[in-house]
Amino acid sequence: MTPEAPAGDGETAGARELRVGSKPWAVAVDSEADRIYVANEGDNTVSVLDGKSGSVTHTIDVGRGPSAIAVNPVTARVYVANLLSDTVSVIDGDSLSVLATVVVGKAPWDIAIDSDVNRVYVTNSDSDSVSVIDAGDSSIVATFIVEGTPRGVAVDPNTHLLYVTSADKRIDIVSVVDPSSGEILNTIPTGEAPWDVAVDPGRGVIYTADSEDETVTVIDGTTGEVLDTVTVGLGPVSLVVDLESGWVYVANSFEDTVSVIDGETRDVVGTLCTGGRPWDIDINPTTGRMYVANAGGNSVSVFDNASAHDSADGPEC
């Protein structure tokens, strides 16, 4: 059954717009609770949205410049990377209060969780490093070096390998890292300025959002071979994979759109309109809804994922 769009505060073509805090940079879904967490970089808060009503139920104070957010689906704890505080805030998803503040490297940029091994991984863009947090006691258990201003990070839940993008003027790569040792197993060239990375573990494919090339690089997760380069919109800074269909959704921050890629054919099959400056994107696999954090619009765009598949041309902007 296709879920109905939740009530909200306004509309963009094909989407419902929900108002949140100032400069929402990141969004993460807790599918079990049908709850959406939005990191607001402009006012140092996290907005908590009810997935059914679309309303903001809580606002939580965190560190300065929250830039990334992730949910541990096993413990329901939420981890927020605070870019300007060099910390990670740990939020209890039951009480919606901050349990701990963890000091990491300089300018933490992105965050990923491997719930099977109870580890949280944080890229530190000004330290050229990744901090490893024990999700049990919120302690730092390791720090390892990754070359060239690490940005995006993703974990393959099957292999437990990390994929870390590096984006500066010297280097544009994704590093494959064994987090148990910190050893870099491979470095794979991408397009220019890869800001984000996503894993499709079932199909063994890695995707990077190449922000200055207007492309997505498609990589074989087993061999490290670059399989394809897909042209998308202007300023792709974030992407997410629908693990059921294999479709890939790419937030294009300079043209207020999401490109829809068929993961099998690697063709762009649709373009969806968002609010201003879409900066991050996530999907609730249970309800099929997709959420886009609009940093320039102080809003979250909500799409029904199934309806996106049916809109080959996308709505008019």
pLDDT digits (tens, 9 = 90+) for 215-252: 999 999 999 999 999 999 999 999 999 999 999 999 99
Give CA separation, 178 vs 164, 213, 230, in Å: 11, 28, 28
The runs of H, that is alpha helices, within the chain are 305-310
Classify 21-145 by CATH class: mainly beta
Using alpha carbons, select from 288, 150, 266 the residue that is nearest to residue 203: 266
Q: Are 153 and 164 in contact, with CB atoms under 8 Å apart? A: yes
Q: State residue 42's pLDDT score.
A: 97
Q: How many residues does the chain have?
A: 317
Q: Residue 188 is which amino acid?
A: I
Give me the tens of pLDDT residue by residue for the chain, a chain 317 residues long.
222 333 345 555 568 999 999 999 999 999 999 999 999 999 999 999 999 999 999 999 999 999 999 999 999 999 999 999 999 999 999 999 999 999 999 999 999 999 999 999 999 999 999 999 999 999 999 999 998 999 999 999 999 999 999 988 789 999 999 999 999 999 999 999 999 999 999 999 999 999 999 999 999 999 999 999 999 999 999 999 999 999 999 999 999 999 999 999 999 999 999 999 999 999 999 999 999 999 999 999 999 864 454 444 445 45
Q: State residue 310's pLDDT score.
A: 46
Q: So where are the chain's domains?
A: 21-145
At residue 275, φ and ψ (nearest 5 deg) are -75, -170
Q: State residue 191's pLDDT score.
A: 96
User: What does the angle CA 272 – CA 276 – CA 282 come to, to the nearest 5 degrees?
Assistant: 55
Q: Are 212 and 195 in contact, with CB atoms under 8 Å apart? A: no
